[in-house]
Amino acid sequence: MVEYTKTEFLIACASRHVRDGENVFGGTGMPLLAALLAKETHAPRMNLISEAGYIDARPVQVPLSVADSRYYYGCSASIGLIETLGFLLQGGRIDVGFLGAAQIDEYGNLNTSYIGPYESPKVKLPGSGGGNDIASSANRLIIMMSHDKRKFVKELDYMTSPGHLEGPGSREKWSLVGNGPEVVITDLCQMDFDPETLKIRLLSVHPGFTVEDIKENVMFDLIIPDDVPTTEEPTEEQIAIMHKLDPHGVYLGKGS
């Protein structure tokens, strides 16, 4: 039996959603490790792109930020932030973007701005950064976030980044370039979106959890298919590659 941490499990899950030959906005943290893991395994022609402008990056060890010079190693080109966000992202040339969120609703819309009323928020969050650009323009979106009932809400306190907005036709109405979120990966399950309603739907449940656990930890009517499989676990090879990429536990953690 393969032993793994929660972080390793989430990275392995996300990695499997990256396809060979895609242009991927990797960012930092777990999304970056997921993209690099995919490149080392099933997607060798995946093109890792940094927001700061590193194209086809091949870092030997994980960068600490999107502008870290470790991103530069082995890359095919180094362009600017404006060209990356404009020509590549807003031009519809990024296949996959990764985002996290403090809140998500049943259409995959995201809040990373504040919790509570606008006039007097309980918590102020970092805001959009490049999140709105990625959510609006990447061809598809992979969302990674911790699973807590208060995060999966019927109505956001604030919409920072668009998912499927109000449902079918909404993104086209507002002329958004990308197709919106495709999968949501949490520490309890994986979710995707019903093709007809574009509402969030249970895709798989992680080992040790049940469908009831998931239903109890969302604040909207989650679509539950008749057959919900158990999420595939990481392999020894995947875990070994993660630790080769992050030998100092920057993202994996010192104790993993």
Longest dimension (CA), the chain: 52
Distance (Å, whole) CA 168 – CA 228: 24
**If you count them, how many residues does the chain have?**
256
Chosen CATH of 95-231 out of 3.90.180.10, 2.170.120.12, 3.40.50.510, 3.40.1080.10: 3.40.1080.10
pLDDT value of residue 81: 85
Asked if pLDDT for residue 256 goes beyond 70, the answer is no
Min mean pLDDT across 65-69, 119-123, 165-169, 204-208 is at 65-69
Q: Which residues of 3-29 are buried (b: 16+ CB within 10 A; e: fewer)?
A: ebeebbbbbbbbbbbbeeebbbbbbbb
Bridge partners of 103, per DSSP, are 111
Distance (Å, whole) CA 6 – CA 59: 24
**Is the CB of residue 96 less than 8 Å from the CB of residue 39?**
no
For the chain, the domains span 1-91+233-247, 95-231
Q: What are phi and psi of 61, to 5 degrees?
A: -130, 160
Short-list 147, 49, 140, CA closest to 99: 140
Distance (Å, whole) CA 40 – CA 45: 10
Cβ atoms within 10 A of the Cβ of 83, count? 14
Residue-wise pLDDT for 194-246, tens only, equals 999 999 999 999 999 999 999 999 999 999 999 999 999 999 999 999 999 99
* H or E element, residue 218: none
Catalytic center residues: 51
Mean pLDDT of the 90-101 span: 93
Distance (Å, whole) CA 138 – CA 128: 15
**Is the CB of residue 194 less than 8 Å from the CB of residue 184?**
no
pTM to 2 decimal places? 0.92
**Is the CB of residue 159 less than 8 Å from the CB of residue 127?**
no
Helical segments of 41-169, H only:
81-83, 131-137
List the CATH code of the domain at 1-91+233-247: 3.40.1080.10
Bridge partners of 230, per DSSP, are 205
Asked if pLDDT for residue 12 goes beyond 70, the answer is yes
SS3 47: strand
Distance (Å, whole) CA 99 – CA 22: 17
Residue-wise pLDDT for 140-180, tens only, equals 999 999 999 999 999 999 999 999 999 999 999 999 999 99
Residue with tokens 């449902």: 167
